[in-house]
Structure 1
Amino acid sequence: MKNIAKINYIFFFISLFLVSQLSSQNFRSNSEYEFEKYAVEQGTAMNASIVVFEDTNGFIWLGSQSGIDRFDGYDFINYANISSDSLSTNLTWVNSITEDGLGNIWATDQFGNVSNYKRLEDKWYNYFPEYKDLITNVPEGVDLNFGLQPSSIVVSKDGRYAFVGIFGFGLIRIDSETKTQKFYQDNFRYSSWFDIKSADKMINELEWLDDTNILVATGDGLRVFDTEKEIYSEEYFRTKNKNQENNFPSDRYWIRDFEIIDENNLWISAQNGIIYKADLSNETLENFSAKTSLSNSDARQILFDKDNNQLWVNIENVGIDILDINTNQVNNLRESNSRLIGKEFNNIIKDKQQNIWISSATDGLLKFDPNKKKFKSFSKNEPDEFNLGFSIAWGAHIDKEGVVWVGTRDPGGGIVGLDFKNNKRYFSGKTNNNNASLYEITEDNVGNIWAIRGGDVIWFKQKDKKKFERLGSYTNKLRKDKSFLRSLTQGHLTYDKNLIVPSDRTVWLADKQGNPVYEEYTRLTNVVKNSIRGFQRKDSISSYVLADKSIWLWDEKGNKFTDLTPDIDIPVLETRAQAPFAAYNEKLYIPTYGSGILVVDLKNQKINYITTNEGLPNMYLYNMFIDSDNFLWMSSNQGILKCDPKTLEFKQYTPVDGTQDYEYNAGTAWQSDDGYIVMGGLNGINYFNPSTLNENRVPPKVLIQNINIGGISKKFESVSNDEIADIEFKNNSISFEYLALSFRNTAQNQYRYKMEGYDSDWIEAGTRRFASYTNLPIGTYTFRVIGSNNDGVWNEIGASYKLNILPPWYRTYFAYGGYILLLIFSVRSFGKYQAKKSIVEANNKRRTKELQEAKELQISLLPKVNPTIQGYEISTYLKPATEVGGDYYDFFYKKGEYFYAICGDATGHGVISGMMVSVTKAGLHGIPMAEPSKILGQLNQIVKKVNFGRLRMSLSVAKFNSNNVELSSAAMPPTYIFSTKNNTLEEILVPNLPLGGIETEKFDGIKKEFKSGDLLIMISDGLPELPNPSKEMLDYKKVFNCIKNNAKKSANEIKDALVSLSDEWSEDTLNPDDITIVVIKKTN
């Protein structure tokens, strides 16, 4: 029995240890709670918010004095009370929001109003507070307009009944079908908030327990309301004697908020700010405020985070407390001790993506994303227990014990050691010399740490000591002919445990016992004559040696050397190659400072480069490591970069992801044997293990938001449609707006789409969130769109919309029956048939003549010659389609005043398209020259008034100023701008509707820097949509790459390159749509 007891005792403590370890992993320091702020600057209607809510789609709704905002990760949409619009909401001080089972939003405000938003109708249906008219015995001076406020609302799944809790009145029910209101109170006398006899009227919170029962928080305990029987069926924690003068007896529990744990347990915040854990099965309360370090101040709204077993508590006018329920540890977040913004908050929610959202009474909306910071950074002052104490890190190493050693470039120098296992921090080596110095830090066989400062001064820390000692300048101890030892870099531990350091001539720094040697390592340098830049271990007995002009394989055990690049010279000096480097699949990947990644193919004796042309985010690299999954990791001047060498897919991590800064430093990185990496730069270090990085693995929900069919837009906001949508042939121009719902770095979300039955492959949309199709042929299609989150995790299912383009009346079965009858009649009337045939021939001749006239009209509308403008090269190209289209380009130039370039495309073919272009050209000559967006606005009104029916005009306008260009577009393909300064090509898409659509349409514009050597290219959609004989489209990506590869050539050469691209792709296939190219290059 004693043994059993002993085993149970040991098991108990092992279990306790495991629980504490698990909890400690979830417990964060205050500094790790970083909040993003969304306020007026980010698009909210106000900086003060009252309530936040997440709907089933994942949209975030925010209530404030100015109505309701909806946030999709990109933009806020405000729904405000507009007195002249009966379909707008009647809400102002919005204090409660919920959703019914149909996806419609319900909300209340502090004046008692209720409003229901029908999502697909985009309309609000309003209900006014009838209960206020029933109140009697209202004391003098009491204003009911702002009193007896709704506190909470829940709605039945079918959306018919809304149950509203009114603080001071009780529960009411709104019937959305009959528009009637029902009151579950028979006492309409005004009641003071503290009166215990009226405590049931003081409702603070409602929540569904199941499909029928609502849990109600009141001024005297909890009640359960049965919505079918319309009675209160159960009560908990109620005052036993209400017939007493004391309004706050000891057994009265004023429930302010609650969070359901399971069917029997819940968390409660009650009067005096106390947090209880309630057990409904035996009606007991456990006071957690008393047993933990939760604040003694006034606890209000709470959130139970089930995933992390944490309770978030809003402490009124103080801050936020976070209780770790496993350990009872508490984070008391305040403005003064954390990154919490403000101190006055309202409710707290957790969304489906694990974000915590807090409505702030002064600072809009706060978001805590627990997984946003993939990298933990260590800077001058953070984190508290492991701060570096300095800013610029230069020199880094991870020793065998896992201690991270970092040197600083700050004046006076110094080296810090971060011992995470033993929770210790060491610092030493600072001098009175305020010169900035660089460190190279390495470790010998016995665990001594060597730090070479400034190239020749050695600082040394013995394994069992805490501080570094200055050994002085080792070059002074050497013969004068060894002054080359001043340029030492990071060390390499050989097979026989000697510590050597690459240099102009590699140095033997310490032997296997850790004793200093300070000699040239001749067993290596006698064979490899050129300077050695770095080593990369291949296996336990051999290493790659990177030397000037060559790469060697060094069998360290047998001291044998193999020249791996006998047929090629490795441009180490020319490319400023860096170390460490990486080996994968018989190739060496060497980071360079300015030339990208130098790839040495050892098998085929070839070298090539991975640059920005292949997607590398930055060309200035400092080091490279390979992880257990064969991904390459490197630091750069644009953050930390990750590369898959098999696919050349890149991922860039910046300060948004937790990197110490954008810029890193050379010689300030190391990878430990167990895979941990340290990288340092201008604002500290990052220390991480690639295998445990917290990538955003949750694919975003993809929705189609809006669909425009034949110029008429309608809300969809769904993943798919259940039935195929039939669309008349006259409305066969369709566009879609779509969205990937993700709230982390949404600017990095990517999209692909295709129209199955029309597109042969997926179209890479990048970050663009709309797709347009014009003149879809008759047939059945499915539009599909997929999206990725910021970490490139795709929702491969995405969203879809099924549609069927109906044939015109003349291609229906009814019409075909008529054709048969007509044929029979024609056989019987041969003479008339011959006459009709003659008429047809005449019509064909007429149509041919009309097409020729249309072509001549199109040519007549184009400039006879391109203008000659000082400081610009201009080249143009227009290739008409088989049926003349409506492409158009033009220039408007007045010396010393303005220079505009125009490129457009009228929908349809033939003379009618030419007429549209004529009207557009005439309009351009008739309106004053202004900003491009204003020009498009005026043209839109002109085209709309002429009324071409469903014919539309797409148009891009560019205005060239001395050092910039202003752009606006009406449904044209993107404009391309190449910056010589940044060596980047940018695809500019300004999403506006075509001319002739909505007369009041406001057109957006954009301004970009445009200096000498910069390039602007406009195209019509005939180029990217040009098919080859296999009916595959050329697509925008090939156009983009062609421009980028030729961007530094003349305007004429760039135009010729694009023309050649189209000719080679089409293989003499006739183009179905006009192709227009306008190239403008600034020469001074």
Structure 2
Amino acid sequence: MTFSRAILAVPSTPKRTEPIGKEGRWYRKPNAVRARSVRRSQHRVRTGRRIPRCQNADAACGAAATEARAGADRKNFPTRALVFSGRGRSFVAHGGASGSQTGLDDQINASARPLVQSIPTAFLHFRTPYGSRMQRVYLASVAVLGLMAARLWMAGPVAAQQYPIEHFDVDDGLPQVQVTSITQAEDGYLWVGTFAGGIARFDGRRFESFGAEDGLADLHISDLLEDRRGRIWVATKNGLSRYEGRDSGTFTSFDTTDGIPGPHVGALAQAKDGPLWVGAGGGVARFRNGAFHPVDSLSGLIVNTLRADDEGLWVGAASGLYRYDEGGVHRPEGPAFFDSSVRAIHRDSSGTLWVGTEEGAARRRPGGAFEPIEVLAGAAVRDFAFTSDGATWAATYPGGLYTFDGGGGVRHLTQQNGLSSGSIFEIHLDRDDNLWIGSEGGLERLSTFRFLRFTEDDGLSHDLAWDIERARGAVWLGTQNGLTRFRKGDFTPLRRDDGLPGSVVYALHTSDSLGTPAPFWVGTRKQGVVRYRGGTRFRPVVPSSRADMSFPSVYSLSGNPTDSLWMGTGGGVRTYDGQRVRADSMLPRQSIWDIHRDRAGRRWFASFDGVRARTAEDRPLSLPDTLRTFPAVSIAEDEAGHLWFGSSKGRLVFYAPPEEGRPARLDWFSKADGMLENTVWFLLFDAQGHLWIGQNRGLSRLDVPHYRRTGEKRFQVFSGSEYPGGESIQNAAARDAQGRLWMGTSNGVLRIDPARHSLASAPPRVHLTDVRTLYEDSTDLAQWADTARTASGLPGGLTLPYDRNHLGFRFTGIDLTNPEGVRYQYRLKGLEQSWSPPSDQQQARFTNMAPGTYTFEVRAQGNDGNWSEPVSYSFTLAPPFWQTRWFYALAFVVLAGALYAVLRLRSRQHRRQRKRLEEEVAERTRDLREQKEKVEQINEELAQTNLEMEQLSMVARYTEDAVLIADAEGRIEWVNDAFVDLTSYDLEELHERFGGSVQEAIAIEDFGDLMETAAAEQRSVSYEWSFEARRGGTRHLASTLTPVFDEAGALQHFVIVDSDLTQRIRVNQELDEQRKLLRAIIDHIPQPIWVKDTESRFLVANAFLAEKVGADDPDELIGQTDFDFFDRELAEKFYRDDQRVIETGEAQIEKEETSEFVDTAETRHTLSTKVPSKTSSSRRATGPGRPPRPKAPSWPT
């Protein structure tokens, strides 16, 4: 036997034969491997962070641990510490001051002293400080060392394990905090009994409670059991209750009047094919054929626990252990404590029987006798559980949990390890190997397998591991504080004092290059690369001089059979050939996070700039652009030679390089495919070919063999309470020689053995929990059901009225390991056949469903990616009465009668109309002949029109008017020379400036409406507008917009003809000025002057005339006649004179007339001259006219 470490630390000792140096320095002795830090040892002694761990099932170690813990709590003497470590174990003992009557040897249990005598003195080679004050400390230290050496020699190496524990109490829905019993039903629900709150059913997310109001016999629960029919039996303090299932949702209770031997029912049991056994305060009864039958030979026993198996019925009573079979009652031989109260009886998969009592526990292997379990000596053992990895768990009250692994190692879990209470009533192992703990502090779930977590407390040089590598028969971890080697269950740290150039180790690598044996390379932060030669020998190689501090951090290392080392650094890739370091200028000059050499000799490089690759001949390898730009941080290769790339910026990429006869293949994986999240920090393949993906909140595992076979992306995720690690560390992952996976996280290093633990789990059990409409819940819907409840507790044979066509379903998938990871898919057959997208929503709603028969199906998926079998629920929506068969039949009869009557009437009408139709046919024939002739004529006209349009385009080129032709969308296609002369824009300039759009070129508001009007009405539209020409100032145009259609009537072109009105408008303006001048002259002549139309209505009158007839303004006379101002006789005279002049066309010169004017009220004699004038409309007038003023153009330029 050898010991790996030994240290003697006595900081308050005044003298020593061999000084150990300053506190915190290493103390080295001959023939011994280096010891732990004195400072760390003293700190743990003072603070109590580390207490002795018993590695085997005996009383001596447990007693010594208890005494040492008690000594650590004493404060009446200065601290002295003796730390001894062997094969990964540590023991701490405390000594007393000089003169104290309480020595360290008095703190050691007497049962442990004989062990010290059996230890060879050669193993206790320590220097004793001078002075009699230390004599007792020395002797006590020898005793402790001997005890620890014996215990470590007997116990095999067991790695430190920390278990994730999830706690549930009343805040989470428990009816009461003290959990006394637990069982899992066949449908997946976990049933929990409490001390004073009744029972609860748990689906992993929510508790549903049942109490006295539900029919439960009592709220104090002693035991729970599910029988073969799926009914839950509840043992209470005041009788027995049976939950009949969700089909009724009720409880049936039994008491002493039904044959139960006592009101306080303490235990339940049922063999595979046997009856139900009930243990109470007065004995045992058997339930068969609907009745309870007491067992007379067991009468009077106060029963705590029962177990039925092939050997009969085992009874744990307050008076001891009993076995009952056809031969009667037997008292098994065993330890003395078998006479105490027996609380637990279990049998494991090997056939070993375990018995727990108030004073200890024993086990009986097949064919053997009962033997006590020494580590549980004196403990009140309440329950046992057996996990798939071969471990046995024992629950004690109030001593917490004990677990024994297959190698003889023992672990003790208490409140210091995360338990809410050490007083445990019951433990239960579910189908996924989760250990459920019922205690005074509530309900807890403990994941009993899969991940081991290692931290500084277990010997790591630091919790944060940057890289992990298998080399030299060990697992090496590069951490934030040096190297750590794991070999044969023991961690050995190597730090700066051991020759490392720096504390932070980023990269590790071993290869067959650069000599034999294979060197081990260590990449550091800004300190280059060193080569490890064993022991504490490190040789800096890159850079060769410590003075060269400019070398960047080394993030990845890769060897090469051609005798070179490739280094991925913060400044690109560098190579080392054993002599010199060269920078690779062909690769990105930024951080290279990973370098991988595949089986074909190609080398792959990962960086944020993308993926790069080199052939075995060191030539650049062509890659897809999507891969060259993918910001990769990790690379892995599967057994088929395909590459996998992960990125911290999102997603996983699969790449199959091209081979002969097969092109390259690229595929992408993300959260949408079932991965925990998109971020990827490391990639690692296990021995089964599955890809492990390190992520922020846990791990994802991809079934790569299944993906290669089927193309299905099936992930299993590990997160939440079942995942003890933190955020994954980039590329900190490796597989050791035993196939175990090591993974670095922010919460320590994890290890898992995929071959030892079954990672596959059964899919979640799916249950429909509720169906309801917008108006009623499932209870109210029972009025439309054939049966009140089905096995799922929902109404059966449901037929709803047509107006209850809005239905909602609630469902749950029971996964007690990772309930948050359950996803669902559903469909409603009769409405849709495809499944809904996966979602974590636990409800579905359907509205406005048509009458018919439907089947709702839902299935669930756990974290391993497997889908459960769907659960279905069928129902019918009845049609309204007008959609029923009898209504259709009645409607058919009515319609048939009506149709017959109509046919008779139509027959008579047909005969009367036949003759008229014959006449109409003859007439229509003539009409058709005439229409045909008209169509032919129209076709000829259209052909002529098209010819004219073609000719028009030719003529338009030479016309003086500006012509623009646009297509049906308003894009300008052609302009003539006159248009260019008028606007100074040719076709190319129109396209450059206005984009070729006629609407943009002709800046008239609502011009698009004009185009639509012309096209819709198939006619020309005229308009006037003005614009500012490049030369010549404002131009006034009169334009015509004409749509052109083809023979089918489809719009083809718009033709715009612009006539320049600028000169005409200028002449009109001059004429207007002259008219204004003439008007001014007329208004100032002191004689009446007027102009009348052919009806003798005034068109023009001067101011003098207006004044004489009493008008305020000459315009008041416009449209009036002489009859409005003179008496009828005189007016008729004037009218006759006017008409004669108009009809004859001869002027009336200075004819004497008599008239009376308003201003003088006297008769006046005047000479009147009337001259006829012909206007443009060929109307005669009685004088010179005054045409209206032309309107100003309203179109904007």
Contact 2:717 2:863 in 1 (8 A): no
Secondary structure of 1:763's counterpart equals coil
Matched residue, 1:314: 395
Quote the residue 1:852 is aligned against: none
Cα distance change of structure 1 residues 203 and 506 upon mapping to structure 2, 3 Å threshold: closer
Paired position in structure 1 for 2:777: 712
Given that residues 551 and 564 in structure 1 are in contact (C-alpha distance below 8 angstroms), is that contact kept between their aligned partners in structure 2? no
Alpha carbons 1:617, 1:652 under 8 Å: kept: yes
Residues 727/153 of structure 1: CA separation in 2 closer, same or farther (3 Å cut):
farther
Match of 2:161 in 1: 31
- Cα shift readout 1:310-365 (whole Å, capped 9, x = no counterpart): 554333322334456x76x36352417755542211233333333332321x1112
Specify which of 526, 535, 538 is matched with residue 469 of structure 1.
Answer: 538
Please name the residue that 1:380 is paired with. Answer: 456
Q: Does the aligned pair in 2 maintain the 1:626–1:632 contact within 8 Å?
A: yes
Matches within 5 A, 1:272-351: 272-277=359-364, 286-289=369-372, 292-303=373-384, 305=386, 311-323=392-404, 329=408, 331-335=410-414, 338-351=417-430
Matched, 1:398 2:469: yes
2:303 equivalent to 1:203: yes
Q: Displacement of 1:286 after TM fit?
A: 1.7
- C-alpha displacement at 1:493, in angstroms? 0.9
Per-residue CA distance 1:558-606 (angstroms, 9 max, x = gap)? x4524425x969866xx76435466899986544453655788976999
Equivalence for 2:328: 234
Q: Separation in 2 of the partners of 1:304 and 1:609?
A: 43
CA distance in 2, matches of 1:182, 1:548: 76
Q: Indicate how the Cα distance of structure 1 residues 107 and 668 shifts in structure 2: closer, same or farther if over 3 A, else same.
A: closer
Q: What do the CA deviations read for 1:619-670 (whole angstroms, capped 9, x no partner)?
A: 65444456677765544444445566866666654464436312524x6455
**Alpha-carbon contact 1:113-1:127 (below 8 Å) kept:** yes
Q: Which residue of 2 aligns with 1:949?
A: none
Give the match's secondary structure for 1:201.
Answer: coil
Name 2:1193's counterpart in structure 1: none
Question: Hey, what's the Cα distance between the residues in 1 that align with 2:800 and 2:605?
Answer: 68
TM-score (norm: length of structure 2) = 0.52
Using the TM superposition, give the Cα deviation of residue 104 of structure 1 relative to its aligned residue in structure 2, in angstroms.
2.9
User: Structure 1 counterpart of 2:821, which letter?
Assistant: Q
| Mapped pair 1:767 → 2:840 | yes
Q: Does the residue aligned with 2:486 lie in a helix, a strand or coil? A: strand
Superimposed CA distance per residue, residues 91-136 of structure 1 (whole angstroms, 9 cap, x where no aligned partner): 211112223444332323224464645532223344455599x99x
Structure 1, residues 392-437: CA drift from partner, whole Å, max 9, x if none? 323x24143353322333xxx32111225x7453433358999974
Q: CA separation in 2, counterparts of 1:599 and 1:308?
A: 34
- Of 248, 268, 277, 1:121 maps to 248
In structure 2, C-alpha distance between the alignment counterparts of 1:833 and 1:335, rounded to whole Å: 100
State the alpha-carbon separation in 2 of the partners of residues 819 and 553 from structure 1. Answer: 79
Q: Is the 8 A contact 1:208 1:214 kept in 2?
A: yes
Q: 1:775 to 1:121 in 2, by over 3 A?
A: farther
The amino acid that maps onto 2:201 is R
Code of the aligned partner of 2:328: E
| AA of the residue aligned to 2:875 | L
Query: How do residues 267-666 of structure 1 correspond to structure 2 at under 5 angstroms?
Result: 267-269=354-356, 272-277=359-364, 286-289=369-372, 292-303=373-384, 305=386, 311-323=392-404, 329=408, 331-335=410-414, 338-360=417-439, 362-371=440-449, 373=450, 375-381=451-457, 384=458, 387-394=459-466, 396-409=467-480, 413-420=481-488, 423=490, 425-430=492-497, 437=504, 439-443=506-510, 445=512, 446-462=517-533, 465-469=534-538, 471=540, 474=543, 476=545, 485-503=551-569, 504=571, 506-509=573-576, 511=578, 517-520=579-582, 525=584, 533=592, 535-539=595-599, 541-544=601-604, 554-556=614-616, 559-565=617-623, 577-580=632-635, 590-594=645-649, 596=651, 621-625=680-684, 633-642=692-701, 652-654=717-719, 656-658=721-723, 660-665=725-730
Partner of 2:865: 792
Structure 2 counterpart of 1:700, one-letter code? P
Distance 1:586 1:126, change over 3 A: closer
Question: 40, 43, 55: which is aligned to 2:185?
Answer: 55
| Correspondence for 1:170 | 283
Note the C-alpha offset of 1:674: 9.1
1:616 CA drift (Å): 6.8
The worse-fitting range, judged by mean Cα deviation, of 722-731 and 336-345 is 722-731
- Please name the residue that 1:94 is paired with: 221
Q: Which amino acid aligns with 2:536?
A: K
Change (3 A) 1:706 1:93: same
Change (3 A) 1:625 1:309: closer
The answer on whether the counterparts of 1:577 and 1:593 sit within 8 Å (CA) in structure 2 is: yes
Amino acid at match of 1:166: A
Distance 2:178 2:340 in 1: 30
Q: Which amino acid aligns with 1:36?
A: E
Q: Deviations over 1:877-916 (max 9, x none)?
A: xxxxxxxxxxxxxxxxxxxxxxxxxxxxxxxxxxxxxxxx
Distance 2:586 2:332 in 1: 91
What code does the residue aligned with 1:222 have?
A: Y
- Structure 1 portions without partners, runs of 5+: 1-23, 136-146, 186-196, 226-231, 240-247, 512-516, 835-1084
Closer, same or farther in 2 for the Cα pair 1:52/1:628, shift >3 Å?
Answer: closer
Is the CA contact (8 Å cut-off) linking 2:389 and 2:757 kept in structure 1? no
Q: How many residues align?
A: 726
Would the aligned equivalents of 1:591 and 1:623 in 2 still touch at CA under 8 Å? yes
Greater helix share, 1 or 2? 2
Matched, 1:67 2:138: no
Which of 222, 227, 237 is residue 322 of structure 2 equivalent to? 222
- Deviation, structure 1 residue 747: 0.7
Q: 1:359 is paired with a residue of what secondary structure?
A: strand
- The structure, 1 or 2, with the larger RCO (C-alpha pairs under 8 Å, 6+ apart) is 1
The aligned counterpart of 1:926 is none
Whole-angstrom distance in 1 between the partners of 2:500 and 2:156: 43
- Distance in 1 between residues matched to 2:545 and 2:351, nearest whole Å: 79
Query: What is the identity, as a one-letter code, of the residue corresponding to 1:62?
Result: V
Q: Which amino acid aligns with 2:815?
A: S
Residue 811 (structure 2) aligns with: 738
Separation of aligned partners in 1, 2:344 and 2:636: 57
Checking the alignment, whether the CA contact within 8 Å between 2:857 and 2:871 is kept in structure 1 is yes
Against the structure 1 CA distance between its residues 613 and 76, is the aligned structure 2 distance closer, same or farther, given a 3 Å change threshold?
closer
1:50 Cα deviation (Å)? 1.5
Q: 1:750 to 1:549 in 2, by over 3 A?
A: closer
Contact 2:778/2:794 (<8 A) preserved: no
Aligned-partner Cα distance in 2 for 1:460–1:450 = 5
Q: Conserved in 2, the CA contact under 8 Å of 1:80 and 1:88? A: yes
Larger Rg belongs to: 2
Matched residue, 2:825: 752
State the Cα deviation string for residues 785-844 of structure 1 (Å, max 9, x = none): 11111232221x23122334444455455545544555576578879999xxxxxxxxxx
- TM-score, with structure 1 as normaliser: 0.57
Post-superposition Cα deviations, 1:972-1030, rounded to whole Å, max 9, x if no partner, equal xxxxxxxxxxxxxxxxxxxxxxxxxxxxxxxxxxxxxxxxxxxxxxxxxxxxxxxxxxx
Pairwise CA distance, 1:762: 0.5
- Contact 2:527 / 2:553 at 8 angstroms: preserved in 1? yes
Contact persistence 2:164–2:722 (CA under 8 A): no
Change (3 A) 1:473 1:322: closer
Distance 1:806 1:157 in 2: 46
Q: Give the direction of change, closer, same or farther, for the CA distance of 1:213–1:340 in structure 2 (3 Å limit).
A: same
The alpha-carbon deviation at position 761 of structure 1 amounts to 0.2
Question: What SS does structure 2 have at the residue aligned with 1:660?
Answer: coil
Question: What is the CA–CA distance in structure 2 between the aligned matches of 1:303 and 1:627, rounded to whole Å?
Answer: 33
Instruction: Provide the alpha-carbon RMSD of the alignment.
Output: 5.2
